[in-house]
Amino acid sequence: MQRGDIDTIVSWVPEGGKVLDLGCGDGELLHQLQNEKRVEGLGVDIDPANIIAAVSRGLCVVQQDMEDGLQNFAGSRFDAVIIAYSLQVLERPHAVLERIVNIGNEAIVTFPNFGHWRSRLSLLLSGRMPKTKALPYSWFDTPNIHFCTVADFEALCKDLNIVVVERRMSSHAGLLAQLWPNLFAKSASYRITRR
């Protein structure tokens, strides 16, 4: 697993809980959560092919924009709201974070850490915006418009009065990523909640 956040998410989601997966893609994660954690899952995605794939897995999904569509959950309450590896595609990630801690008892947010030493080194040495195997887009044509680092994310949570319940870093660098996550974590997973 390139990303390394899936196992973390599965371990954090409460057994039998009601789960909203924002940007559920083809429903792979939600399907796994349904099988392993018996959750009652609802996925959100905008892409028709993803909707069909997720429905084929037997999932419930609603086709709508992750951000504008959030108002549609005004009357709903979830045990966990997940944003797995799609924080960076949001137009207003700060507004979404505020919203999801309101509709979920807790939120699980995972993202690629742009502060990873490879990104830094790449920018330092080549002077060009970094591309990686997992994130191969050019700066001008990318869905990923809001990259952040571990330090950025935690600063934003503080500003928004959001509490970090738990965080987990994943990396090949093991201990280093735990000691200096902003430099060594490839991806970061957070459990957050409203203060």
Partner 1 sequence: MTQTTLDNSVGIVSPQRAHFPEALYLESGEALDGFELIYETYGELCADGSNAVLVCHALSGNHHAAGFHSENDTKPGWWDTVIGPGKPIDTNRFFVVCPNNIGGCDGSTGPNSLCEATGEPWGSHFPQVTVADWVETQKRLAEHLDIQHWAAVIGGSLGGMQALEWSVRYPDWVSHCVAIAAAPGLTAQNIAFNEIARQAIFSDPEWHDGNYLKVASNPAQGMALARMVGHLTYMSADKMTDRFGRELRQGSFDPQDDEEPVFQVESYLRYQGSQFVSRFDANTYVLMTRALDRFDLSARGQGGLIEALKDASAEFLIISFSSDWRFAPSRSQEMANALMSAEKRVTYSDIESDAGHDAFLLDDANYLALFSAWMGRVAA
63 scored as a contact of partner 1 (CB under 8 A): yes
Mapped onto helix, strand or coil, the DSSP state of residue 137 is: coil
Give dist(CA 137, CA 22) in Å, integer: 22
Alpha-carbon separation of residue 129 from 8, 44, 101, 126, 144 (angstroms): 29, 30, 32, 8, 12
Q: Can you tell me which of 64, 105, 142, 144 binds partner 1, judged by CB under 8 A?
A: 64
42 scored as a contact of partner 1 (CB under 8 A): yes
35 scored as a contact of partner 1 (CB under 8 A): no
52 scored as a contact of partner 1 (CB under 8 A): yes
The region of 58-66, 81-89, 148-156, 161-169 touching partner 1 under the rule CB under 8 A is 58-66
Residue 131 in tokens:
């591309």
CB of 107 to partner 1, least distance (A): 18
The region of 1-9, 28-36, 61-69, 83-91 touching partner 1 under the rule CB under 8 A is 61-69
Q: Can you tell me which of 55, 135, 156, 176 binds partner 1, judged by CB under 8 A?
A: 55
Give dist(CA 185, CA 115) in Å, integer: 8
For residues 154-187, one letter each, b for 16 or more C-beta atoms within 10 angstroms of the residue's C-beta and e for the rest, the string is: beebeebebeeeebbbbbebeeebeeebbbbbbb
CB of 38 to partner 1, least distance (A): 14
Mapped onto helix, strand or coil, the DSSP state of residue 195 is: coil
Interacting residues with partner 1 (CB under 8 A): 40, 42, 48, 51-52, 55-56, 58-64, 72-76
